[in-house]
Amino acid sequence: MTTGTTRSTVPASDAQRAWLLLAGIALAWGINWPVGKALLAYLPPIWVVALRSAVGAAALLVICVLRKRLVQPKRGDIPVILSVGVLHMTAFSVLASIGLQYVAAGRSAVLAYTTPLWVVPGAWLMLGEPMTARRLAGVGLGLLGLLLIFNPLAFDWHDRNAVLGNGLVLLAALCWAISILYVRAHKWVTPPFELVFWQALLATCLLVPLALLLDGVPQVDWQPSLAGLLLYGGVFGIALAYWAVNTVNRTLPAATTSLGLLGVPVFGVACSAIALGEPISLQLIVAMGLILGGIGVGTMGGGRQRG
């Protein structure tokens, strides 16, 4: 969301801390995919993201109060609160959680992080950003990766659940991309981190009634493992991760942060294989390499985007 400080003006100790935080973010969000998959054994999909969002909002409130960064949003902040709260924290989370019922966590992480591929043409059409040869090449590589994942000879198009699940995760990525496009165009009044609590609060206020409407009142068997998974998703996956992203963005260039976050699907695939026993096929590895390589090529020239 914010542009980073150039590395030449950043003390070495701050840069080292930022790199460690960036690695921690990639790992935390990578683990979040198998955590989300595991939560589906206890809760319906929309309740998973609603309770996780509530935990995250509560943790963000504590962080903001302790750091004296709790502010009342101004009128100019409303559009970006709506954009992130509705499109990213609500629509993306719901679609991805429903999709996770039918799609492996590792595969979902790869599909969800195709978001920058949709941002590039969207920025060209909506924001007037130039469509350079590098960006075209990046989109091309990424689309090749998607074609490999959905190889008509290997993908079971007759499996309605598989088609629905994969389609929902890709639609989630598109919602996130639209949010990113607005964030790029937004004229900031209040610093980004001060608004994250309000975005998470808005998402929670939308998700809880949506969960009641679509999933009904859940019959929950509260166990320590369920509480631990929700705490991880809310505290590490939302509160601490967003705090860390804003800290990193103030230290490292935005393009560096974007490329560093390409580690999320890599960790997501690896952690899903370790924690859930999901197989890692050669096809998925090659497709992931093409998609991440395309994102890397397309964003290496700069530009602002955030995970």
pLDDT over 70 (residue 255): no
**Residue 277 has which token pair?**
């026993």
% of the chain exceeding 70 in pLDDT: 92
180 versus 203: which is more confidently predicted? 203
* 8 A C-beta contact, residue 177 and residue 306: no
Instruction: Look at residues 161, 108, 95, 147 and name the one whose alpha carbon lies nearest to residue 278.
Output: 108
**Residue 105 has which token pair?**
């966590």
% of the chain exceeding 90 in pLDDT: 55
How many angstroms separate the CA atoms of 69 and 66, rounded? 8
* Residues sharing a CB contact under 8 Å with residue 67, sequence separation 6 or more, in sequence order: none
Instruction: Look at residues 41, 34, 37 and name the one whose alpha carbon lies nearest to residue 218.
Output: 41
Quote the pTM value: 0.86
Report helix, strand and coil shares of the chain as percent, to nearest 5.
75, 0, 25
Mean of the pLDDT values across residues 9-34? 85
How many angstroms separate the CA atoms of 249 and 183, rounded? 14
Highest mean pLDDT among 11-20, 92-101, 130-139, 213-222: 92-101
46 versus 242: which is more confidently predicted? 46
Mean of the pLDDT values across residues 229-233? 96
* Half-sphere exposure (Cβ direction) of 291: Cα atoms closer than 13 Å: 28
Q: What is the mean pLDDT of the chain?
A: 87
What is the pLDDT, as a whole number, of residue 91?
Answer: 97
What is the pLDDT, as a whole number, of residue 131?
Answer: 81
What is the pLDDT, as a whole number, of residue 128?
Answer: 84
What is the pLDDT, as a whole number, of residue 6?
Answer: 41
How many angstroms separate the CA atoms of 280 and 255, rounded? 29
Which residue in this structure is represented by tokens 């166990």?
223
